[in-house]
Structure 1
Amino acid sequence: MSDEIGWTAPEGSWASSAARRRNMQAIRSRDTKPEQRIRRLVHAHGLRYRVAARPLPGLRRTADMVFRPAKVAVFIDGCYWHGCPDHYVAPRTNPGYWSEKVAKNVARDRDTDHRLIEAGWLVLRFWEHEPAELCADKIAASVIQRRFRDG
């Protein structure tokens, strides 16, 4: 696939243009602004955690924040990539590909939740648009409650 300036997509690429490819490559999978705000607030509560860690060693999926002793896994989901019911809008360009990708992400999220819960973890999921203060307060309360319960 090539565009008007002679750019040719790499074999098997999903990018429709060089600009689209640059845009998609710039999207962060970790350390997003919502994650950083929530982490800063949770840290201010005096809690320590692992960032972008695997809660279960055999599961190739990472949580945004992991509180291992308390068995709490936190995910801050992006509205587009995880299909937010309030904010997800199907793309106009290549809608079949992207809608299928988001649907697979949502299915993987549910599978991850199920596996972690089965292993005794508490799974907390927040949307990127939720107020960081409320998310941090809920995370802190959950971690403290589980530490108190187990300790």
Structure 2
Amino acid sequence: MDILTPEKRSAHMSRIRSKNTRPEIAVRALAHSLGYRFRLHRRDLPGTPDLVFPSRRKVIFVHGCFWHGHEGCRCGRLPKTRTEFWQKKIEGNRHRDEQAIRTLSDAGWSSLVIWGCQTKDRASLTEILSNFLGPKGRGGPQTEAVGRTS
């Protein structure tokens, strides 16, 4: 068994992505195939949401079960070593997530959190996305074209 020195641990942790993760790409591909169009990683919005639907004023965060402390998920369990460190780190992530969602809500945005484990069931994920995003198309207020009559 290889023991991770602080240098090795740092190198290992630096490979953990915050963007373009496998679950995030799965959500993006499904949303796009369903006809929804979006922007990625808008840094001007609190929490830098993974998918942003500006005309609908909706955002989606795709959270890793471990890093964001998904309760009840086997992938969200704390390691048996350095438990205090990991508990503090994950609680900080959860607090930051809650604050970002609250700030977005106060600004008139709706937020959805999709957990990494939810991306494995395509049918369920399709239903979640469709229910959250609503009818396809621009998503803004619908106006009818009024024709001129002579």
TM-score (normalised: structure 2): 0.78
Pairing 1:150–2:141 present: yes
- Asked if the contact 1:63/1:75 (under 8 Å) is kept, the reply is yes
- Asked if the contact 2:56/2:139 (under 8 Å) is kept, the reply is no
Amino acid at match of 1:71: R
Instruction: Tell me by how many angstroms 1:138 deviates.
Output: 2.4
Mapped partners of 1:68, 1:148: distance in 2 = 9
Percent sequence identity is 30
Amino acid at match of 2:49: A
Mapped partners of 1:115, 1:32: distance in 2 = 25
Mapped partners of 2:59, 2:90: distance in 1 = 21
Q: Which runs of 5+ in 2 are unaligned?
A: 143-150
Q: Show CA shifts across 1:74-125 (max 9, x none).
A: 0111111100112322223332222101001111111111111111111111
Mapped partners of 2:64, 2:105: distance in 1 = 22
Q: Which runs of 5+ in 1 are unaligned?
A: 5-14
- Asked if the contact 1:64/1:76 (under 8 Å) is kept, the reply is yes
Partner of 1:17: 6
Instruction: Please provide the CA RMSD for this pair.
Output: 2.3
Aligned residue among 61, 64, 67 for 1:75: 61
Residues 1-151 of structure 1: pairs in structure 2 closer than 5 A: 16-54=5-43, 56=45, 59=46, 61-86=47-72, 87=74, 88-130=76-118, 131-145=121-135, 150-151=141-142
The count of corresponding residues between Structure 1 and Structure 2 is 135
TM-score (normalised: structure 1): 0.77
Structure 1 ranges of 4+ moved more than 6 A: none
Instruction: Tell me by how many angstroms 1:19 deviates.
Output: 2.6
- Pick closer, same or farther for the CA change 1:145–1:117 going to 2, 3 Å: farther
